[in-house]
Amino acid sequence: MKAFMQSLKNDKVGFIGFIGILLVVIVAILAPVIAPHSPSEIFNEHILQGPNAQFLFGTDELGRDIFSRVVFGAQVSLQVSLTAVGIGAIGGLVLGLISGYFQGKIDQIIMRVMDVFFAFPDILLALTIIAVLGPSLTNTMIAIGIVFIPVFTRLVRSAVMSVKENEYLTSAVAVGVHPLKIIAKHVTPNIMAPFIVQVTLALSGAILTEAALSFLGLGVQPPDPSWGVMLNASRAYMEFAPWTILFPVTAIVMTILCFNLLGDSLRDLLDPKLKS
């Protein structure tokens, strides 16, 4: 871990991404302290005001403080992406381990089901799941989580299959170690590198999908301060109040950018093929 942090420090681009994410996390955790107002507090006399000393990022069409909404929006974004990626990663890890380790019929069944899910474009699958569950914050997390399961399953499965070729595993099987113990002690630690890279990239994907679903009105529901919701609501006023979209857009782009920067660096760091 120490060596890992050291090499991350040496990689300037990845380090910038890491610091950026850290910043978003701090903002999200300290949102109630950082934000001067409640995200839903309405200031009737200050509707659509430009940035000023009282309202740092201006106010929106209902007279709410955009700065506070962007700050609390970080909370929503991180909450959705962490939960969604958690669902997708754990689901995919379990299915991929079973599929890749035991192979045979169970592998066939799991992979055919995954093929079916792969036949939907991501956003369409998420939309369909939302249509079934109904739009809400929780259901957005579940929908995005389910969308990620096939990606993780396929990744873990192929990593497990290549680890299985190693002699230390054959010998573990030969001396009669219990399969669950082999999976936990020998297989899982050895597939972590590609898994972690995928987690980082999925986090940025989740933030993007959440913003997209909320933008379409099928994700996080108003008055919850999601960046996607803010962007969609301000489209009607943006020509005479550009600040209403400028700040949520910047927040979305910067956050996704930082996750991608870190994800790229991690891939270069952890992929032995690229090390040379």
Partner 1 sequence: MLIPVLFGVSIVIFIALRVIPGDVAATILGTDATPETLAQLRKNFGLDLPIYEQYLQWIGGVLTGDFGESMRTGKEVLPDILDRFAITFELTILAAIISWIIAIPMGILAGIKRNSKTDFSVRVISLLGVSVPNFALATVLILVLSLSFSYSPPVGYVGFWEDPIRNLQILFLPALVMGTSMAGAVMRMTRSSILEILRQDFIRTIRAKGAKEKIVIFDHALKNAMIPILTIIGLQVGVLLGGTVIIEQIFSLPGLGQLVLTGINQRDFTVVQGAVLFIAFVFVLINLLVDLLYSYLDPRITYK
Measured from the CB of residue 125, what is the shortest distance to partner 1 in angstroms? Answer: 8
Per-residue buried b or exposed e for 12-23, using 16+ beta carbons within 10 Å of the residue's own CB: eebbebbebbee
Measured from the CB of residue 128, what is the shortest distance to partner 1 in angstroms? Answer: 6
What residues line the site for partner 1 (CB under 8 A)? 112-113, 115-117, 119-124, 127-132, 134, 204, 208, 211-212, 215-216, 218, 231, 235, 238-239, 242, 245, 249, 252-253, 256-257, 260-261, 264
Q: Rounded distance, CA 67 to CA 57, Å? A: 5
Q: Which residue, 50 or 134, has its beta carbon nearer to partner 1?
A: 134
Contact predicate 242/197, CB 8 Å: no
Q: Rounded distance, CA 123 to CA 76, Å? A: 19
Nearest to 21 by CA among 273, 266, 272, 276: 266
Measured from the CB of residue 116, what is the shortest distance to partner 1 in angstroms? Answer: 3
Q: Which residue, 80 or 261, has its beta carbon nearer to partner 1?
A: 261
Longest dimension (CA), the chain: 77
Neighbours of 163 (CB within 10 A): 18
Measured from the CB of residue 33, what is the shortest distance to partner 1 in angstroms? Answer: 28
Rounded to 5 degrees, φ, ψ at 65 are -75, 115
Question: How many degrees, rounded to 5, is the angle at CA 130 between CA 129 and CA 131?
Answer: 90
Name the 3-class secondary structure at 59.
strand
Measured from the CB of residue 145, what is the shortest distance to partner 1 in angstroms? Answer: 16
Which residue is associated with the tokens 């573990």? Answer: 172
Measured from the CB of residue 215, what is the shortest distance to partner 1 in angstroms? Answer: 5
Q: Which residue, 35 or 129, has its beta carbon nearer to partner 1?
A: 129
Q: Which residue, 42 or 113, has its beta carbon nearer to partner 1?
A: 113
34: Cα separation from own chain's centroid:
23
Q: Which residue, 6 or 276, has its beta carbon nearer to partner 1?
A: 276
Contact predicate 88/202, CB 8 Å: yes
Q: Which residue, 34 or 51, has its beta carbon nearer to partner 1?
A: 51
